[in-house]
Amino acid sequence: STSLLWFRRDLRLSDLPSLLAAADAADRVLACFVLDPWLVKTAGDRRLKFLYDSLRGLDEKLDGRLLVVRGKPENQIPKIAKAIDANSVHISADHAPYGVARDARVEEALSGIKGGDIELHSTGSSFAVTPGRVTKNDGEPYKVFTPYFRAWREHGWHSPARSGAKSADWIDPKDVVGTGSSDVHAVDIPDVDVELSIPAGEDAAQKRWKQFRQGAGDYSQHSVEDYDDARDRPDLDASSRMSAYLKFGNIHPRTMLADLTELEKDSDHKDGATAYLRELCFRDFYASVLREWPHSAWHNWNRSFDAIEVDEDKAAHEAFDAWKAGKTGFPIVDAGMRQLSGSGFMHNRVRMIVASFLVKDLHVPWQWGARWFLDQLIDGDLASNQHGWQWTAGCGTDASPYFRVFNPTTQGLKFDPSGDYVRRWVPELADVEGKAVHELKDGRPSDYPEPMVDHKAEREEALRRYGQVSGK
């Protein structure tokens, strides 16, 4: 008997419950990935490169036995299932709106072949706790993070699943593709000519996680131990850079949580481990929010903000272009935007600063910024990104209050006190020493722009606009 294991955002072999389910269900398993043109179209070059490199890593671990096809999953999956005469198709659950609709289409298409005998089995998800599981006592979803966090910890999570390459007897796609009546067409894993600042794949994820636990590494010497103190400092590069690995499922958060709960028992690591665990919970929380309120993918979670006045005219487009290019004349904003376009990553604190600047200083719709982020970020993820933006814009669940407007200069002074972050990303300012780089009181180099807006005046304008809709 045979089963099909369909990989999506779970590109690893360890701690993969759907692999164990596929192996349990049949004697032999075929591993496949479908390059869905819709998903390829919505990802920027670096994210695609990360995806393709992750697939290459997976294929190597499977000794070249990963079948990659291109097309709509609802066409491809039934075709492959038929070609191997599968009894079942196995996946990890996806809760984002596109994934939910796609999986329903695939399930429907499967019911139309082999007398409707092929079932789509979903086992596990990319989250510590499957979205929708942690609810209030009355079954209602949480809207506020802190009580969710408490309930999430109480709920707990499974131990990592013990899976690996040896868990299944793998079918070689060459025995399936192009044989007999099969019209399954394998494609080579594509490549994109772009550099990645972090290597992709399961081995790289494990290595980075180990380094971050121990405080030694290729990119940074910081670790879980000083995470709670240093994580907000973009100049120190003290965060874990695990986000892209989590996005593509190169590692499961449960694997990390098992280590973190151990580290919490150690007094030197306790605070850092708890702080890190809380961030992983944010990732679960936003996935739950998106599952519960799918409109929040592109619309204000809080619909009373729909009435807010935003700028969308030609001047707004020009301002948006200056923001994207990192030419606003506000050093910390420009450093962030250039880190994004130059590396496909941006530090969390700076994500908040540049987002606040776009929405509250330039009065541009948050959706424009969110779309740009999704295009550029390697870790670009609908749930975390859209809700990170809406937190900043004040229209999300449990959002920052609308009247909190980040001052980019004081944020820079506080969180990049050495000025190193700005100098690293804005070469025009490389000769300005220390934290003076944020204020530029002694003048600006001729090739660095003047501030594009008067922050004080735009803050007042933002408060005026928000004042009109708040309290409705």
Strands 119-125 vs 86-93: parallel, antiparallel or unpaired: parallel
Q: Does residue 388 bind ligand FAD (CB under 6 A)?
A: yes
Q: Does residue 344 bind ligand FAD (CB under 6 A)?
A: no
Q: Which is nearer to ligand FAD, 110 or 251 (CB)?
A: 251
C-alpha 198/C-alpha 348 separation (Å) is 17
Given 2, 163, 384, 397, the residue binding ligand FAD (CB under 6 A): 384
Q: Does residue 351 bind ligand FAD (CB under 6 A)?
A: yes
Do residues 192 and 48 touch, judged by C-beta distance below 8 A? yes
Q: Does residue 340 bind ligand FAD (CB under 6 A)?
A: no
Q: x/- binding map, residues 268-287, to ligand FAD, per CB under 6 A?
A: -----------xx-xx--x-
Strands 66-70 vs 86-93: parallel, antiparallel or unpaired: unpaired
Task: Write out the two tokens for 419.
Answer: 């000025």
Q: How far is CA 243 from CA 248, 249, 379, in A?
A: 9, 10, 6
Q: Provide the residue count of the chain.
A: 472
C-alpha 316/C-alpha 369 separation (Å) is 12
Stretch that binds ligand FAD, among 35-43, 74-82, 136-144, 377-385 (CB under 6 A): 377-385
Q: Does residue 392 bind ligand FAD (CB under 6 A)?
A: yes
Nearest-approach distance from CB 78 to ligand FAD, in angstroms: 32
Strands 28-35 vs 86-93: parallel, antiparallel or unpaired: unpaired
Q: Which is nearer to ligand FAD, 20 or 340 (CB)?
A: 340
Residue nearest to ligand FAD (CB): 388
Nearest-approach distance from CB 339 to ligand FAD, in angstroms: 11
Residue with tokens 């594009």: 452
Q: Which is nearer to ligand FAD, 68 or 280 (CB)?
A: 280
Q: Does residue 296 bind ligand FAD (CB under 6 A)?
A: no
Nearest-approach distance from CB 240 to ligand FAD, in angstroms: 3
Q: x/- binding map, residues 145-164, to ligand FAD, per CB under 6 A?
A: --------------------
Nearest-approach distance from CB 10 to ligand FAD, in angstroms: 15
Q: Which is nearer to ligand FAD, 76 or 240 (CB)?
A: 240
Q: Which is nearer to ligand FAD, 170 or 245 (CB)?
A: 245
**Helix or strand run (H / E) with residue 146:** helix 145-155
**Helix or strand run (H / E) with residue 270:** helix 270-292
Cβ-proximal residues to 80 (8 Å cutoff; 6+ apart), any chain: 4, 30, 32, 67, 69, 86, 176, 184
Q: Does residue 259 bind ligand FAD (CB under 6 A)?
A: no
Given 23, 68, 355, 453, the residue binding ligand FAD (CB under 6 A): 355
Q: Does residue 107 bind ligand FAD (CB under 6 A)?
A: no
Q: Which is nearer to ligand FAD, 282 or 293 (CB)?
A: 282
**Helix or strand run (H / E) with residue 30:** strand 28-35
Q: Does residue 379 bind ligand FAD (CB under 6 A)?
A: yes
Q: Which is nearer to ligand FAD, 38 or 219 (CB)?
A: 219
Q: Does residue 352 bind ligand FAD (CB under 6 A)?
A: yes
Q: x/- binding map, residues 226-255, to ligand FAD, per CB under 6 A?
A: -----x-------xxxxx--xx--------
Q: Does residue 377 bind ligand FAD (CB under 6 A)?
A: yes
Q: Which is nearer to ligand FAD, 34 or 242 (CB)?
A: 242
Q: Is the dihedral of CA 202, 207, 212, 213 positive or negative?
A: positive
Give me the numbers of helices (H) and strands (E) for the chain, helices first please. Answer: 20, 5
Strands 2-7 vs 28-35: parallel, antiparallel or unpaired: parallel
Q: Which is nearer to ligand FAD, 282 or 448 (CB)?
A: 282
C-alpha 321/C-alpha 300 separation (Å) is 23
Angle at 389 between CA 383 and CA 390, to 5 degrees: 90
Give the residue ranges of DSSP H helices in 62-135: 73-83, 97-111
DSSP code at position 357: I
Give the residue ranges of DSSP H helices in 157-239: 202-214, 227-230
Q: Please tell me the count of residues contacting ligand FAD according to CB under 6 A.
A: 27
Q: Which is nearer to ligand FAD, 88 or 397 (CB)?
A: 397
Q: For residue 5, what are the β-bridge partners?
A: 31, 90
Do residues 165 and 57 touch, judged by C-beta distance below 8 A? no
Nearest-approach distance from CB 239 to ligand FAD, in angstroms: 3
The shares of helix, strand and coil residues in the chain, as percent rounded to the nearest 5, are 50, 10, 40
Q: Which is nearer to ligand FAD, 74 or 379 (CB)?
A: 379
Residue ranges binding ligand FAD (CB under 6 A): 231, 239-243, 246-247, 279-280, 282-283, 286, 348, 351-352, 355, 373, 377, 379-381, 384-385, 388-389, 392
